[in-house]
Amino acid sequence: MDTYVLFAILSGAFAALSSVFAKLFSNDATVPAILRFLNLEHVAFAEPVVRGLCFLLIFASNAIMWTFFSRALALSTSSTAPTIINTVTNFVVAAVSGFAVFGEVGALGRWEWWVGAGMMVVGSVVVGRDGVEDEKEKDKVSDAEDTLVADSAEDVESDEGADDNGKTMGEGEPLLK
């Protein structure tokens, strides 16, 4: 497995985790549940602290996600593969965490969600393949241009000082007639 794959998977997971923290921060039902779980429901300042912590974790998750995603892009030869891997991981982790943390059966239990997510992934792959083919074609054109430039430079060096007939200046005929 290429190293960029691991970084792309981690970036997708942290993107989904950021969404989890955003929902924990903004949902009125989740913070009291967290406080009950931690046995802090009678502590006066606990709710703002938990909300503040979730708010900070949104930004921390996003920062970590962008760090991993940037690293995946830097290690990959194409931006397409890390983007697709990130997206797929984000879908799956979001569905599983929605079920595990919030008890949402929607994503895991609805075939429509999985079909929609699958179609988005397939679309990304199709678009990505076109991008990879375009990059390969650009590389071929660039290599051909490099060869043409190198051949032209050799021709100039070998014919330096010669006219169209291969004669150098000063070999009998005047330059201007």
**Residue 29 gets which letter from DSSP?**
T
Q: pLDDT tens, 33-57?
A: 888 888 888 888 888 888 899 999 9
Asked if the structure places residue 156 within a domain, the reply is no
Section 126-132 average pLDDT: 65
The answer on pLDDT for 102 being more than 90 is no
Asked if the structure places residue 19 within a domain, the reply is yes
Asked if the structure places residue 166 within a domain, the reply is no
Give dist(CA 95, CA 134) in Å, integer. Answer: 34
- CA dihedral sign of residues 160, 162, 163, 164: negative
Q: pLDDT tens, 143-170?
A: 656 665 555 555 555 555 555 555 555 5
Supply φ then ψ for residue 168, to 5 degrees: -90, 160
Asked if the structure places residue 177 within a domain, the reply is no
Determine what percent of the chain is predicted with pLDDT higher than 70: 69
Q: Which range, of 45-59, 91-105, 109-123, averages the lowest pLDDT?
A: 109-123
Q: What is the pTM of this model?
A: 0.65
- In the chain, the amino acid numbered 68 is F
Question: In this predicted model, which residue has the larger pLDDT, 80 or 132?
Answer: 80
Report the 3 state secondary structure along 86-106.
HHHHHHHHHHHHHHHHHCCCH
Q: C-alpha dihedral over 41, 44, 45, 51, to 10 degrees? A: 40
The answer on pLDDT for 13 being more than 90 is yes
Give dist(CA 71, CA 8) in Å, integer. Answer: 8
Asked if the structure places residue 83 within a domain, the reply is yes
Give dist(CA 126, CA 133) in Å, integer. Answer: 11
Asked if the structure places residue 39 within a domain, the reply is yes
* Apex 176 CA angle, 171 and 177, nearest 5: 100
Asked if the structure places residue 155 within a domain, the reply is no
The answer on pLDDT for 128 being more than 70 is no
Show the domain range for 101: 3-146
Give dist(CA 131, CA 48) in Å, integer. Answer: 47
Domain count, the chain: 1
Identify the H or E element spanning 7. Answer: helix 3-26
User: 171 falls in which pLDDT band (50, 70, 90)?
Assistant: low
pLDDT at 119: 85
Q: Which residues pair with 168 in a beta bridge?
A: 162
Give the tokens for residue 100. Answer: 């595990």
Identify the H or E element spanning 33. Answer: helix 30-37
The answer on pLDDT for 142 being more than 80 is no
Asked if the structure places residue 158 within a domain, the reply is no
